[in-house]
Structure 1
């Protein structure tokens, strides 16, 4: 009975918080519109009409913002994603409001400057209010208030990792208080926590202590234990959460995704979301266009030097594999004298290679021979940052020799990459060198972020232009 009343009180509290959050958002929308009117130099041409527009958006916000999850519990979840959801939700509200105004033939009477200012100010206010609330909640939780007690089921490194994540993220508001050790004879208990070895004893303690969360940190092979726990707590208002251990199975992050209505775990699939790929593609095109414009005088000078120093074309092209194994032609400045290659064999450049011209040696040491690859980026065949593409013959050679080699092609190859700024550049005369390069490429795929891309770009400019392994 006490458990039921506690859950009812918690639900009532969550409902009140959700209502207050909605009222705050509606007030911020009105405040943003008022501030936009006050700060603009020009007076509002149609105050009644624009007031009606504001009222319409306030009503639409009540209807549409919940669809973006802005009022869900974000305890322990990414606040960056919450910010994105809020901004996109507000933009959707504005677009719907404008569409209705357009259908009523009233958009011409609304000041565009005022509308844009209102949109920006309100978005800033909505984001700031959420971040302020979560900052306050984070401080409360670090002080030991507003916590949810968690009992963890599992054993070994995965269980310890789940508990360690709770300890290292106090602002999330979860605290581990007990464990059910599923391998009591072979695994030690987690120090400092109450430990149980029997399911029934564990379940009775969870009920008596009114524990709110039970996290199941088990491999997917432990289906019987998972089903037993579900059955044990089927009559209780306890949040059961399954955190499967897929480290030995998943190539990348093992994220749970929705696949045509069914939950699916990514074991071997692209680790980057469509949103991340879009963000990366936009950055690539803008960066490549800017780089080609800025570097065009230098590239013309290099082209003239190549043409004057040796016979042959300015550019060297070679077939390489891109994303999903699609073949494309990579562009480079030619650095070698014209020579015949044996069919099916690509000979890598070595130190003191007689095929390399004087101009070519300088271009290779400074990586200036790679500049034409911004054309490949602009064409959508490459990325600014990613695993370096290899000759097709090398792909065939290393695919069966180096673990995980083929997974480098789950994203677009790059002009520079994590392996290159960490010293794995140039000739791969030993299998260990290629293994090291691939390990760093896979690390990049597992840990991609826009910030990591910027870090690699800066590192390439600062220390990557000249390298002792480039010859």
Structure 2
């Protein structure tokens, strides 16, 4: 819950930054015109509008609106300057090729360019100071632990302690056998509080008590690091490596710097900052539009279910959602049973539990339509990894590497795995591995365009499936 709320908060801050940046561009233009006795005419308004739009796209392309929790202020300002210079260069090119550049005052333009950047830099300084103040008062705090009582780990602990504005509360260290441990730190000191072993850290992360995990083991322990990463792939914690290391199976990895320590997140989510709001807007618009169109169809299906077999029209099953939280997923009832316990048997070919009308619903995916209400509720998305019953999650998380990383995003009604044929019964381990492989590919490469592509492919080949029994 804390991680999901944190993303929404970051998304709100990013949206505010975009709005304020646009206001600052127009305000600086109006002030510059006033200083040099010019008026805000239609032509100047068009220039301002082009500047706002171009800056918005360029700023997004350089990641200006992502989370800057552990980045320096100079890095933020430098990125902002790069986006603004690019936007100004675009305006100059337009003025040159349209031969309208001579119609605008150079003094006004020069004052506007400088004052806009200064206003943006001061605005970001104000927001950063405000965030630092709030975090110093224990607001917007994330918990962190370090695995490995090493010199690098102790340096990182010192850096985190020296930068309380980062909003990271370090709980302590977890040891990894005797790797990197000095004789005086094996039992722990005030500076290196030992919380337990790696197994204890994994258990704490699975319970949701740890937000960030920092691996501070020597690079010569590559095999051990790989084993630890596999363990934490079964949690929702964000994992960072110290120092840098390159792995083929990273999930939305990003570089960070905390003091003098360089970090790279390994298992993270693509839905940070403004992307959270983009995705939510996509879900709300599509779910509302689809429900409006298919309401008569859903009413007809509900009536047919009640007429063809005893029992309710709808079926609710517990499944894992974002960050591994249990959610209730709605479906049209297609079976004579409503299994929702510790043991859920997947439907098989010729399964006697499936009703005659239910077989049609499952083959055409119409039984999934009530999940549009889950989308409106916010527990699911239109596009994302398909949610599995809790019993199936507990079964496969132990045997499929990276299985729980599927829950770094909200589950979806349709997904990349489904349109590629990996849906229905997973009677072999290989089938589940391929499904997870496609789900992780979706998370690594997420974008609104990718979602649109999946939706288009769903219309052409995602509804009817011979693997759905």
TM-score (norm 2): 0.51
CA shift, 1:253, in A, is: 3.7
Matched residue, 1:429: 427
Secondary structure at 1:353's aligned position in 2? coil
CA shift, 1:417, in A, is: 0.7
Instruction: Provide the C-alpha distance between the structure 2 equivalents of 1:452 and 1:117, rounded to a whole number of angstroms.
Output: 32
CA shift, 1:275, in A, is: 2.2
Instruction: Provide the C-alpha distance between the structure 2 equivalents of 1:445 and 1:89, rounded to a whole number of angstroms.
Output: 25
Secondary structure at 1:266's aligned position in 2? strand
Cα distance, 1:450–1:253 mapped onto 2, change above 3 Å: same
Residue by residue over 1:212-236, the C-alpha shift from the partner in whole angstroms, topping out at 9 and shown as x without a partner, is: xxxxxxxxx79xxxxxxxxxxxxxx
CA shift, 1:288, in A, is: 1.0
Gaps of 5+ in 1: 1-84, 102-109, 137-220, 223-243
Matched residue, 2:318: 319
Matched residue, 2:21: 92
Asked if residue 379 in structure 1 is aligned to residue 374 in structure 2, the reply is no
Gaps of 5+ in 2: 1-13, 31-38, 56-86, 97-219, 222-242
Secondary structure at 2:299's aligned position in 1? helix
Cα distance, 1:251–1:131 mapped onto 2, change above 3 Å: farther
Residue by residue over 1:30-65, the C-alpha shift from the partner in whole angstroms, topping out at 9 and shown as x without a partner, is: xxxxxxxxxxxxxxxxxxxxxxxxxxxxxxxxxxxx
Matched residue, 1:123: 52
CA shift, 1:286, in A, is: 1.5
Matched residue, 1:305: 304
Instruction: Provide the C-alpha distance between the structure 1 equivalents of 2:371 and 2:44, rounded to a whole number of angstroms.
Output: 42
Residue by residue over 1:402-459, the C-alpha shift from the partner in whole angstroms, topping out at 9 and shown as x without a partner, is: 0110111111111111111111010001111000000111111111111111111111
Instruction: Provide the C-alpha distance between the structure 2 equivalents of 1:412 and 1:455, rounded to a whole number of angstroms.
Output: 18
CA shift, 1:247, in A, is: 3.4
Instruction: Determine if contact 2:381/2:411 at 8 Å carries over to the other structure.
Output: yes
Matched residue, 1:58: none
Instruction: Determine if contact 1:385/1:413 at 8 Å carries over to the other structure.
Output: yes
Instruction: Provide the C-alpha distance between the structure 2 equivalents of 1:345 and 1:131, rounded to a whole number of angstroms.
Output: 63
Instruction: Provide the C-alpha distance between the structure 2 equivalents of 1:467 and 1:426, rounded to a whole number of angstroms.
Output: 8
Matched residue, 1:449: 447
Instruction: Determine if contact 2:318/2:326 at 8 Å carries over to the other structure.
Output: yes
Matched residue, 1:415: 413
Instruction: Provide the C-alpha distance between the structure 2 equivalents of 1:98 and 1:347, rounded to a whole number of angstroms.
Output: 63
Q: Between 276-285 and 321-330, report the one with greater CA deviation.
A: 276-285
Cα distance, 1:258–1:89 mapped onto 2, change above 3 Å: farther
Higher RCO by CA contacts (8 Å cutoff, separation 6 or greater):
2
Matched residue, 1:35: none
Secondary structure at 2:345's aligned position in 1? coil
TM-score (norm 1): 0.51
Instruction: Determine if contact 1:252/1:445 at 8 Å carries over to the other structure.
Output: yes
